[in-house]
Structure 1
């Protein structure tokens, strides 16, 4: 018979003689009860987890019920893209075989089970402009005659058939604009295999749009040609498409957007807004446009101070010196950064907006695919085109005396770039634009004798130097595990009118403040 000691615990002698009992005797009864309760709870949770694992590993007939929403039951917030539980499929890159055969692989996936893809977020609001850009063809469709007329100024035509791309080149573009535009479309086909419809896509890589609206208006006018390019304006009908620099710009050492976006985010942390130089900063090539040459008159000198620090960029010298003075992530050093167009829109806009600095945006004449989603006084500060110096002077003075409001404008712009212009959304914009465009075809796209198949191998395997490096860095490894973001509906006329009116009202408000500022200074 085991001897017990009536000590209030009622435990046998061999337990009471052990080292653990010696420790427990130092504790109060309430402390021991709390510890014992915690042990019971942890044990119950462990048993429940083991039971779930056992049930999930049973035959497939139980899986649909048990695994539904098992990975993430949180609701989608804003533009959040959910994490995906599926394994990523990678498409191999085989330059050895391609160099021998000079042909594209035949094992590319050209279909994907959309039911297997995870749900996606709602697209950013600027995607709604896709509906507006395609409106001229919404009711008449796209005919072969229209597409053929788009060739007049184009650099190339890309035909997509059954998920594969075929290229017909008309004229080589400046630098590698056409090369990296084509490379970007190939990455889209790898990301969403079999999801991009058959089409013929005619592309012009020159900056300024060339399809005038007034030429194709009226009862006797011809139907407009669908011509793709990087920017548009209010009096043309060109279809805007993400520019080549999202996949890299080797000639000026601008890295692919995924990499550069991370570097810009890190560069923002090197110097807080309050510790930055309290001036407007711009660095670029002033020779490409009179408006930029006019901007240079606002530079600081011995006789004037317009609160601007402006620098001419010598790309030839930069190339020789290894681009040491043109690192974009190192240029977030001023509280204000000026954006001004060149011969047309400029790719620099996204880099300037990403800097946490207040973007001083000289009145633009052109837009690219995302800038119509920007709002004055929220994402940027509007600057007069015909009175730049005074306008910049006032903007900087206002910001330096309204520091919190100015910081909020800079932060809103950089948040927009980081969250709504991430590479996922660049691809999704391309997808929705081309998907909507392809649905308008009234004929079956076909190949001309001059068309040749284009694939990743036919581009990257023969590339060299920085061009090859940027291609490899921007290579889409395989199909996406999430669906493209969900398109927002088109604008109804009243809401579109209200949005445009709101932007104009904000700009007019700034001009009114500016006028009062200078009227007061002239009198004093």
Structure 2
């Protein structure tokens, strides 16, 4: 028998140590060289485990970081639209938010969400349309993985429909301080509610719409296929006109044997599309016209970001609702305003104006697209969520607690039961490791005069366009 001190055994022991050091170096090199990320050796990428059949399995990963320790302590400035966070929460600034205010929204909410010590608990009250609630909760889970330990404890109610549900008039006067707090995808001037990024940023599987990080890149590439001046010189819209009277009226503006309003409008049949593999609904294939139309449906529509990202001059039919970013966009700078009452006339004039002023029309389209591509990156969407939830939590006058009917949710358990596009989109949008940078720096609240001047300037530009349209109609 050879002793441990013999040359052969010593050489074998030295070789094992050398190979171990080599493979440790290789592993460290792979981890730290992932494109676009700088990761310390202690932070390991943690994808969801998969079973042999490819389905997501439950896998609680105990070594995922619970404390946010970025290597880069510098921070960029948040986009201007983050200032609206202050405005959405202003109604509760002097009073704070009591438990009663949160509970008062329960009758409207689709679910209650609680964050405690970095974990999420959800109590569901009713089913939302499609999987809006599922992907909204999924997005918040990914936020907690992006900034582990940074999102404070909180408790909120969430409404998943296209229109706000609580009106200001019902909580004015003596009841002003008891205004309920509820999160939702859009707002309206006469309604209460806190505007939050919509579920489609993580994908809309029911309509084959990819997560925003992927789709925004596809739209950017699509814009390169056809130069703006070589695009079809008409206004384009494709959608479901049956959801609202305003959209049915828009279809009257379609080309016919008697009239040409410079619009090319197409009815979207989602049932047929799903049966045919969504051949005519790929958003990246719809950046082919110089002008695109945005019009609300039953309420606010998620399509605004897809339409604005096409480099086409967006003809924005005057909306009733707003989402979290649109309020900072400016008419004639990012889009062309169209009145809701005279859609056909105004669309025809906008297209004629654009075709006679191609450089200006192209510049408006490019500016709108640039706003979306640069200010609506997923990094900023997550930062908006982070700052909104943090500021909201700071207003709470009670200690969040887990309700009896709530269950803990985390990425692995949410992904496990889903199949097809639902599973694909969740895997695609899973945050595999914490951010290496701090969230962007919040801009200060608007001063009242500054905000009033900004809103008035937008209205002044819109009225100017309306005068042009009226003058043109008199000539014709």
> Given the alignment, which residue of 164, 183, 197 partners 2:119?
164
How far 1:150 sits from its partner (Å)? 1.2
Equivalent-residue separation in structure 2 for 1:259 and 1:105 (angstroms): 27
* Secondary structure of the corresponding residue to residue 219 of structure 1: helix
Per the TM alignment, residue 388 of structure 1 is displaced from its structure 2 partner at its CA by 0.5
What's the offset of the Cα at 1:86?
Answer: 4.5
Q: Which residue of 1 aligns with 2:234?
A: 279
Q: Distance in 1 between matches of 2:400 and 2:422?
A: 31
* SS at 1:151 equivalent: coil
Indicate whether 1:405 and 2:348 are aligned.
Answer: no
Of 247, 250, 253, 1:295 maps to 250
For residue 110 of structure 1, the aligned residue among 54, 62, 66 is: 66
Measure, in 1, the Cα distance between the counterparts of 2:57 and 2:137. 22
Write out aligned runs for 1:281-360 (5 A).
281-360=236-315
Q: Find 2:374's aligned residue among 410, 414, 419.
A: 419
1:517 to 459, 467, 472: 472
5 Å matches for 1:432-447?
432-447=387-402
Equivalent runs, 1:159-198 vs 2, <5 Å: 159-198=114-153
- Give the aligned partner of residue 250 of structure 1: 205
2:232 is the counterpart of 1:261: no
Q: What is the Cα deviation at residue 100 of structure 1?
A: 12
Which one has the largest radius of gyration? 1
Secondary structure of 1:411's partner?
helix
Contiguous gaps of at least 5 residues in structure 2? 1-35
Structure 2 CA distance, aligned partners of 1:214 and 1:343?
A: 22
Whose RCO is larger (CA < 8 A, sep 6+)?
A: 2
Aligned in 2, Cα 1:459/1:100: closer, same or farther, shift over 3 Å?
closer
Q: Give how far 1:104 is off.
A: 4.4
Residue 135 (structure 1) aligned to one of 77, 90, 93: 90
Show the counterpart of 1:31. Answer: none
Tell whether the 8 Å contact from 1:380 to 1:410 is kept in structure 2 after alignment.
Answer: yes
Partners in 2 of 1:281 and 1:317 — Cα distance? 21
Please give the secondary structure, in 2, of the residue aligned with 1:150: coil
**Equivalent residue pairs, number:** 437
TM-score normalised over the length of structure 2: 0.89
- Cα offset for 1:212? 1.1
Show the counterpart of 1:382. 337
Change (3 A) 1:399 1:149: same
Residues 332-358 of structure 1: per-residue CA shift (max 9 Å, x gap): 010000000001110001000000000
Deviations 1:301-332 (A, max 9, x none): 00001000000000001001101111100100
In the alignment, structure 1 residue 204 sits paired with structure 2 residue 159: yes
CA deviations 1:34-54 (Å, max 9, x no partner) are xxxxxxxxxxxxxxxxxxxxx
Render the CA deviation track for 1:173-224: whole Å, top value 9, x for unaligned.
1111011101100010000000000001210101110121122221344511
Which residue of the partner structure matches residue 226 of structure 1? 181
Measured against aligned partners, the alpha-carbon deviations of 1:109-140 in whole angstroms (never above 9, x if no partner) come to: 222236x4431210000000000000011111
- Secondary structure of the equivalent of 2:446? coil
What's the offset of the Cα at 1:107? 3.8
Query: Cα RMSD between the aligned structures?
Result: 1.7
Check the 8 A contact 1:124/1:420 in 2, yes or no. yes
2:233 aligned counterpart, secondary structure: strand
Instruction: Compute the displacement of 1:225 (Å).
Output: 1.1
Unaligned stretches of 5+ residues in structure 1: 1-82
Taking a change above 3 Å as real, the CA distance of residues 101 and 475 of structure 1, as seen in their structure-2 partners, is: closer
CA contact (8 A) 2:50 2:57 kept: no
In structure 1, C-alpha distance between the alignment counterparts of 2:240 and 2:57, rounded to whole Å:
44
Distance in 1 of aligned mates of 2:63 and 2:124: 26
What is the CA–CA distance in structure 1 between the aligned matches of 2:282 and 2:37, rounded to whole Å?
Answer: 34
- In structure 2, C-alpha distance between the alignment counterparts of 1:220 and 1:315, rounded to whole Å: 44
- Using the alignment, how far apart are the partners of 1:364 and 1:326 within structure 2? 23
Q: Work out whether residues 202 and 227 of structure 1, in 8 Å CA contact, stay in contact via their aligned partners in 2.
A: yes
Change in CA separation of 1:106 and 1:170 when aligned onto 2, cut-off 3 Å: farther
User: Is contact 1:198–1:438 with CA below 8 Å preserved after alignment?
Assistant: yes
> Which of 135, 147, 153 in structure 1 is aligned with 2:108?
153
Distance 2:106 2:276 in 1: 40
